[in-house]
A and B are shown apart, each in its own frame.
Chain A
Amino acid sequence: MFRAGPRGAAAAAWAWARGRAGAARVAAGTGSGGELPAPPPSPSPSPSPSPSPSPSLSPSLSPVLRAVGVPVAPGGVAAQAWLGSLRHPAAERLGLAELHPDVFAVAPRLDILHAVATWQKNFKRISYAKVKTRAEVRGGGRKPWRQKGTGRARHSSIRSPLWRGGGIAHGPRGPTSYYYLLPMKVRVLGLKTALTVKLMQDQLHVVDNLEVPTADPRYLQDLARYRHWGSSVLIVDVDEMPENIEKAVAGLKTITLIPVVGLNVHSMLKHQTLVLTVAAVDFLEKKLLWHDARYSPLYPFSMPYSDIP
C-alpha cells in the first residue's frame, strides 16, 4: 500500500488543492488515477506550479500514499490523515493516508467512551477489604453478666457490634469482585469512537514505520516537541518493533510503545497523541470492521470459524 512520495512539492500542491472529493475518487476508483480536471489557470497564492502539469494524475504524483484496504460502502467518504515518518523531525507530512470512515469517522458517542473506560477501570477490580463479624471475633461465647438484677444493660456476648472490640455488623465481607462484561459490539464501538475522536481532534498521526535514527530517548522527546504532539504519546505498531525505538522508549515515562493487540480506550484517553503505523491501521480496520457484518456466535469465537480475520 505504501508508495513513494511526490517528487516535487510544487507538483503536489495543485493536486492537493482539489480537495477531499478528488482524493476519494482516486481511492474508490482503480489503482491508477482516473481523469481529473486540470488546475485552474487563475493566479493562486501558492507559488506557480511547474510549467506543464499533466491533466491525468498518475499514481506516482498522487498525494494519497495509503488507500483504504477494506472497500468503503457506496456513499461513504474516506477520512484522511497526514502520513509522516519518524526518521527526521521535519518529515511530518509526506503524503496522505486514507482511513476507513466506519472506523475513523463514526459518530462521537461520548457515552460509549465513558461506559468502556469505566468498564476497563472496574472489571479487573478485586477489593480485599474484610472485617470480622461477631461470630469470627475471638471470644464472646459467654454471657458477660446475668440477665437481670445487675442494673447494667443486658448483653449476651462481649463481641456484639455494640461493644468496643466487637465484630462489625455490615462491613465489607471478603474479597469482592466487580467483574462484568459489556457487549462485544459496545467494546468494539468504543475503540472506533476513541479512534474517531483522536483523529477529529488532530491528535492522531499515521507513520510509515517506526524506524528512528538513534536509540536516544532525547530524539523522541525533541521530535514530539517539534511536532507539537503534546506531553504524552502512545505509539502503536504490529508485533515486531525496531530495536532503536524500543530502547528509546524504555527510558521515557510519558511515551509508551504498545502492540496493536494492546490498544484500548483508557490508554488512548490517557495519552495526548496517538501514533499509528500503516500496518497497525490495516490491522485495526480489518479487525474492527468484521463486527459490523458478522453473525451472532453459535459457539464461542475461540473455536474455529471460517471468516474471523
Chain B
Amino acid sequence: MLALVRAAGRALAGRALPGASRGISGDGGRPGPARPGCGSSLPLSSPLAGLSRTFRVREPPKPQQVDRWTEKRALFGVYDNVGILGGFQMHPKDLIVGPKWLRGWRGNELQRCLRKKKMVGDRMFVSDYHKLNKRIRFLYRRFNRTGLSQLSSRPPRGEPLLGVPLPRVPPLRVPPGRPLT
C-alpha cells in the first residue's frame, strides 16, 4: 500500500527528465520534502537532503570561454602605422569606422552636438533634430552661464562696473535769454 502511494507520488512528482541536473539544490523550488528515495533527485550527500522545503540556490555562472584568436582579435591593430610605413598617403584616422561626424575627431558633448548638427543635421528626423537643438541650447547655457567662474567676472545687477558708486552730477542749467559761448 505504502509502496503504491510512493510509486504514485513518484509518478506525479516525476516531472523532471531522467537526465536532470543534480545541483546542490536538486531540482530547485519544488515543494515537498527532499528525500533521496522519494522522487527528488537530490543525492544523500547534498546539504539539503531531508529538509522540509527545498529552495533554489543559484550557482555562480560558469566563466565564459573567450576565443582570443578570432580573426578580429588576431588582426587587431594592423595598418595603424599605415602613414609612417606607407608613405603618408593614408592616415590612421581613415581606418576608423563610425558615425561620419566622429571619424578622427574628439570633442565634449556640446562640440559633438554642434558638429553633428553641422554635418548631418539636414538628414535627421524632425523629432531628433528638435531634441538635438534643445540639447545644444541647454548645454550652451550650462557651460557658459552657470558656475562659479561666471560669478567672479560678471558684475551683479544694479551696481556700476567699477564697483564704486559715481557721484551724482546735477544737470546743467542754462538761464533763459543768454546764449552759451
Contact: A264 with B104, CB < 8 Å?
no
A304 to B: closest C-beta gap in Å: 10
Stretch at the interface among A66-74, A149-157, A210-218, A250-258: A250-258
Q: Are B84 and A188 in contact (CB under 8 A)?
A: yes
Structural contact, A177 and B134, CB atoms closer than 8 A: no
Contacts of B114 in A (CB 8 A): none
In the assembled complex, B82 has its CB within 8 A of some CB on chain A: yes
Contact A256 B74 (CB under 8 A): yes
* B78 contact from A136, A187, A267, Cβ within 8 A: A267
B88 within 8 A of A: yes
Scan B68-87; emit 1 where CB is below 8 A from any A CB, else 0: 01100011111111111111
- A308 adjacent to B87 (CB under 8 Å): yes
Establish whether residues A266 and B80, one from each chain, have CB atoms under 8 Å apart when the complex forms. Answer: yes
A133 and B109 CA atoms in complex are apart in Å by: 13
A135 touches B131 (CB 8 A): yes
Contact mask B82-122 → A, CB, 8 Å, 1/0? 11111111011101111100111111010011001000000
- A253 contacts which chain B residues (CB < 8 A)? 69-70, 74
What number of A-B contacts does a CB cutoff of 8 Å give? 106
Q: Check: A28 CB closer than 8 A to any chain B CB.
A: no
- Min Cβ gap B79→A in Å is 5
In the complex, A227 has a CB within 8 A of chain B: no
- Residues from chain A with a CB closer than 8 A to the CB of B96 are 123-124, 126, 179
**Which residues of chain A are within 8 angstroms of B77 by Cβ–Cβ distance?**
120-121, 264-267
- Which of these binds chain B: A8-16, A43-51, A168-176? A168-176
Closest residue of chain A to B91 (Cβ to Cβ) is: A302
Contacts of A197 in B (CB 8 A): none
Interface residues of A in 77-133 (CB under 8 A from B): 120-121, 123-124, 126, 133
Residues of chain B contacted by A175 (CB below 8 angstroms)? 98-99, 102, 112
Given contacts A135-B135, A261-B86, A308-B87, contact A176 B112 (CB under 8 A): yes
Is B138 interfacial (CB 8 A cutoff)? yes
Task: Report the minimum CB–CB distance from A74 to chain B (whole Å).
Answer: 27
A58→B69 CA distance, assembly (Å)? 47
CA A295 to CA B147, docked complex, whole Å: 45
A189 to chain B, nearest CB (A): 11
- Distance A232 CA – B68 CA, assembled complex (angstroms): 11
A260 within 8 A of B: yes
Contact of A177 with B80 at beta-carbon distance under 8 Å, contacts A260-B85, A308-B87 already known: no
27 contacts between A and B (CB under 8 A): A120-B77, A124-B96, A126-B98, A126-B99, A133-B135, A135-B134, A135-B135, A174-B113, A175-B98, A177-B102, A177-B106, A177-B112, A179-B93, A181-B93, A232-B69, A253-B69, A253-B70, A254-B74, A256-B74, A261-B85, A262-B81, A264-B77, A267-B76, A267-B78, A291-B84, A300-B88, A302-B89
Given contacts A177-B103, A287-B84, A308-B88, 18 further A-B contacts (CB under 8 A): A120-B80, A121-B77, A126-B102, A135-B134, A135-B138, A174-B112, A177-B105, A179-B102, A181-B93, A187-B81, A254-B69, A256-B74, A258-B75, A261-B79, A265-B77, A266-B77, A300-B88, A308-B87
Shortest Cβ-Cβ A-B pairs, 10 listed: A266-B77, A301-B88, A126-B98, A262-B78, A253-B69, A177-B102, A264-B77, A179-B106, A120-B77, A261-B86
